[in-house]
Amino acid sequence: MRPTTYQYATGRIWALEPKLLTFDRMERMLDAETVQEALKILSETEYGSKVSELSSPHDYEFLLASELRVLYEFIKTVTPDEELTDLFFIKYDVHNAKVLLKASFLGMEDPEFLSEMGTLPLDKLRGTLEEAFKSDDSTDKENTDVLYSDLPEYLREPLKKIHEDYTLKKMIDPQHIDVALDRAMYRYIFKVCREKRQTFMEAYFKREVDLINIRSLLRVKNIGADFTFAKEVFMPYGYIEEAMLEEAFERSFDTVSDSFSSTMYFDVVDRGVKSLLSTNTFTEYERLSGNFLLDYVKSQRGDFMGIQPIAGYILAKENEIENIRVIMVGKVNNIPADKIRERLRDTYV
């Protein structure tokens, strides 16, 4: 039987938080001479049993994917509201839909980079898309309704529209797929937040959308495209209005962060842009964005009567797993420890 209180969930989570990796543990992994030694240090933690199952140190991605799946299954057992906590996991369903769609258009039978972390069984999503795109009557609206009927609404409607567009044109812009599915995902997220009067969750995802939109602005500006192109990729659900994004876009890169001086994002943008100008990568901006969102959730973790501790633990584990990935990739590729350290996100504990 599903527990019915957030207090119960918080108690379970507080018991697990001390087992999260500290930055000291990650420092030890960073100081390891080899990837094998880094894994040995990780094996001294809660990851020990999974490390022992690896046939090669280079198979660490299997370990990380397994740990994410454990996280999802655990959250399902403790959350009083699975529809709400699933909002943190549907991004994996959307990612899989993007990969499978693009693979279908390119004729790829076994695409890489699929995630087992979604709320939908991967075989179900794959089977639905395969059946849809081999249908001889895919232009018929009633037929497409049936083909996608088993999928949740936030995927069903944009997939039907993409399907119909592709059937008519026999080609489609990959960016169109990404934007259509992302907008549908956030539309659903904010619908659920409003229906459940979840001000904390709504505030979290608005921050996430703003940071994504600023990154999109910087990416478009960096490739020399115009603002009309940028508007096509913005998500219309954040705090920042389009007028502020346009004003920022018209500035030089040296002063673009000034447009956000009155917002909570100024430090992220300022430091992220400076790093972009010196490295031509968004690594630092994305690291700072992740830290910003984690800090917001950490600031709310004391409210044990709501979903905040659950959200905090989800983000803590995702950040932890991403940090392990960064360390392992660095060790496999013989990247110096100080360079790897620059890419690590903050820890929750």
Are 126 and 166 within one domain? yes
76-120, pLDDT tens digit by residue?
999 999 999 999 999 999 999 999 988 877 777 778 888 888 899
Cα(231)–Cα(234) distance, rounded to whole angstroms? Answer: 5
Domain boundary among 152, 172, 195: 195
Res. 269: pLDDT tops 80: yes
Res. 186: pLDDT tops 80: yes
Cα(9)–Cα(3) distance, rounded to whole angstroms? Answer: 8
Tokens of 130: 């395969």
Domain-embedded: residue 9: yes
283-328, pLDDT tens digit by residue?
999 999 999 999 999 999 877 789 999 999 999 999 999 999 999 9
Give the residue numbers spanning the domain of 28. 1-81+307-334
Domain-embedded: residue 346: no
> What is the predicted pLDDT for the residue at 294?
94
Tokens of 176: 């169109």
Global pTM exceeds 0.85: yes
Domain-embedded: residue 264: no
> What is the predicted pLDDT for the residue at 146?
82
> What is the predicted pLDDT for the residue at 66?
92
Number of domains in the chain: 2
**What residues contact 291, with CB distance under 8 A and at least 6 apart?**
345, 346
Res. 348: pLDDT tops 90: no
Tokens of 205: 């995802």
228-238, pLDDT tens digit by residue?
999 999 999 99
8-45, pLDDT tens digit by residue?
999 999 999 999 999 899 999 999 999 999 999 999 99
CATH number at residue 325: 1.10.132.50
**In sequence order, which ranges of the chain are alpha helices (DSSP H)?**
6-16, 23-31, 35-42, 48-52, 60-78, 82-85, 90-106, 122-133, 141-147, 153-169, 174-195, 199-222, 227-231, 242-249, 266-279, 283-299, 308-332, 337-341
